[in-house]
Chain A
Amino acid sequence: MPTSDSQLLEGNKIRIGKQIVLPFSKAVEISLRGVRVRFWRSMITMSGIILAIAFMVSVWVGGAVLDGLRSPEVRERKVISAVLGEPDKLVYEAADGTGKTVELKRERVVRNTVAFILNSKGYDTGAASGEEGAQGADGRSAGPGGAAPAAASVQSRGSKDLWLVVLSLCVAVVGIVNAMLMSVTERFREIGTMKCLGALDSFIVKLFLLESGFLGGIGTAIGVAIGLLLTAVSSLIGFWAVRGEIFSAISWSSVLWGLGITLLTGTALSVIGTIYPAIVAARMEPVAAMRQEA
């Protein structure tokens, strides 16, 4: 509206147009270029989210492993228990069919339920675990603790984990806001130049948000990979005795679901953390490009 007024008032011959809003694909193209060139620098920015996501994944998948082992179908399975020392060796020797030694050693093989082993390691397995106990040939009887831990303690462990995850994600977001503000200051001349060349504020915002979206996605993927690796290692170490059961015990749909949520969370958080810095960048005056200090 002010255009047509001023144009009528001035009676000029040349029309001033409105700058077009660039198609989204252009913003994607330009931001991808920026991501590619500044990749390693940006990964340092994203290291906070990488670590937080790795933590989130390890909590989630670690929980899934424990839940899987605790589930009614799995916890009653009998596995060779590590109680007597070297069950692996015993089993192996028992299987190779050398007569007398087998007789001798077989007695020392102890089979226990998954629940019993978990209990002996201090994990809660729910009510049914106690009675099953050990079925060892040497008559060892099971029943650590006896009293089945209440579901409430499982609940509290979960909520404490959740609290830690949320806290670490918050720290990561604050880190991103900080790093992105620095990056805006670093790039003020580039932003000013772009505005001199005809970039709209909305384009600058889009550019920053897309960049952080891509970086957040990549960073989260790296975090997921690290988290999975750590969980795999820690689960194998922690549940070595029941390692054969872990893979079948895990609810893979729950894990995949969790990874999906994690990817979304990580990407979304890095975008959210960039909103304020992006607005700061967009508000920058084009004159900033003229400033000499680098």
Chain B
Amino acid sequence: MLGQTIVRTKDVKRIYTMGNVTVEALRGINIEIRAGEYLSIMGPSGSGKSTFFNMVGGLDKPTEGKVYIDEVDVAQLDAYELAWLRCRKVGYIFQSFNLIPVMTALENVTLPMVFAGLNNDEARDKGMELLKQVGLDKRHSHKPFEMSGGQQQRVAIARALANDPAIVLADEPTGNLDLKTGTEIIDILKRLNKERNVTIISATHDMKMLKASDRIVWIRDGRVDKIEKSEDIVIQEGSVDGEH
């Protein structure tokens, strides 16, 4: 099921300079993520988890080292190519959903298609198809504020898949949701991961995510602390059930 390497990092370091203070958020991370993988990035806040996550998604460039997405060095891309990459190669899911408030569910889902140059009819058909996949085709004309958090996040998932990306980046996708809704969202992500063979990379604190993940990368102090495989996760399942 797992294909070729889709994201590869080589000695990635990221140093922030704030006035006279330099903060080393990442201190050399090497990792390979393969196509079709469901990967969770875990770590306490301040561990460099978010920085690493942004790096992998082409939202930030490393101070040292290289990030390859689909074997292309992200640092070499100009603004147009980066926009293209974000539009077609990567789908983003945010903790706070980040739907465009003035647009309906369908318009939100079709926005990346518009950016990709699809015409309105194609975009509408594809958008409805995606909304159906997340079970919201009946609510296509609703604005974000007319929907619950779980529904908004499902629209956001549909939007992330708009241009059939190879990678979906999910930043704490269940962070603003209750337990039940969070589980639904994880189930949808897992299902899409299997059905569409899309790589899912999520940064999370949520232990429920562990069950769905193929691998978990623990980040601590800007380094990879450990990488766990799905087999190891089964052991922790008791604690996941314990949350119910």
Residues of A that sit less than 8 Å from B by CB: 2-3, 5-7, 10-14, 16-20, 22, 26, 30, 33-34, 37-38, 189-190, 192-201, 203, 285-287, 289-290, 292, 294
CB <8 Å contact, A195 and B86: yes
| Contact, CB under 8 Å: A190 / B95 | no
Question: Which single member of A5, A37, A38, A286 contacts B59 (CB below 8 Å)?
Answer: A286
The B44-83 residues at the A interface (CB cut-off 8 A) are 50, 54, 59-60, 68, 70-73, 76-83
Q: Contact at A3–B102, with CB atoms within 8 Å?
A: no
Q: How many A-B residue pairs have CB under 8 A?
A: 117
Q: Which of B24-32, B112-120, B146-154 contacts A (4 or more CB under 8 A)?
A: B112-120
> Smallest distance from the beta carbon of B48 to chain A beta carbons, Å?
14
In the docked arrangement, what's the CA distance between A189 and B103, Å? Answer: 14
Indicate whether B2 reaches chain A with its CB closer than 8 angstroms.
Answer: no
Indicate which residue in B50, B76, B98, B162 contacts A3 across the interface (CB closer than 8 Å).
B76
Q: B38 contacts the other chain (Cβ, under 8 Å)? A: no
CA separation between A19 and B92, bound complex, in Å?
17
Q: From B162, which residue of chain A is reached at the shortest CB distance? A: A197
Chain B contacts to A: CB under 8 angstroms: 50, 54, 59-60, 68, 70-73, 76-88, 92, 94-96, 98, 100-103, 107, 111-112, 114-117, 159, 162-163, 171
A241 to chain B, nearest CB (A): 53
Whole-angstrom CA separation of A290 from B92 in the bound complex: 10
Most B Cβ at <10 Å: residue of A30, A194, A195, A290: A290
Residues on A with C-beta less than 8 A from B59 are 196, 285-287, 290
Q: Can you name 6 A-B residue pairings with CB atoms under 8 Å? A: A14-B71, A33-B102, A197-B86, A197-B92, A198-B86, A294-B96
Distance, CA A7 to CA B70, complexed state (A): 11
- Interchain CA distance A294-B8 in the complex, whole Å: 33
Q: Would you call the interface of chain A mostly helix, strand, loop, or mixed?
A: helix
Known: A3-B76, A19-B83, A197-B87. 14 other contacts (CB 8 A): A10-B68, A10-B71, A12-B70, A18-B81, A19-B81, A19-B115, A22-B115, A30-B114, A190-B101, A197-B159, A198-B86, A198-B87, A198-B115, A294-B96
Q: From the candidates B79, B95, B96, B115, name the one contacting A197 in the complex (CB within 8 A).
A: B115
**Does the CB pair B84–A16 fall under 8 Å?**
yes
Residues of B within 8 A of A6 (CB): 72-73, 76-77
Query: B119 CB to closest chain A CB, in angstroms?
Result: 10
> Could you say which residues of chain B place their CB within 8 Å of the CB of A195?
83, 86
CB of A259 to closest CB in B, whole Å: 32
Contact across chains for A201 and B92 when beta carbons are under 8 A apart:
no
Query: A10 and B72 in contact (CB under 8 A), knowing A20-B117, A287-B59?
Result: yes
CB-nearest residue of chain A relative to B87? A198
Chain A positions within 8 Å of B79 at CB level: 200-201
Contacts A22-B114, A22-B115, A200-B83; A189 near B96 (Cβ below 8 A): yes
Q: Is the CB of A16 within 8 A of B100?
A: no
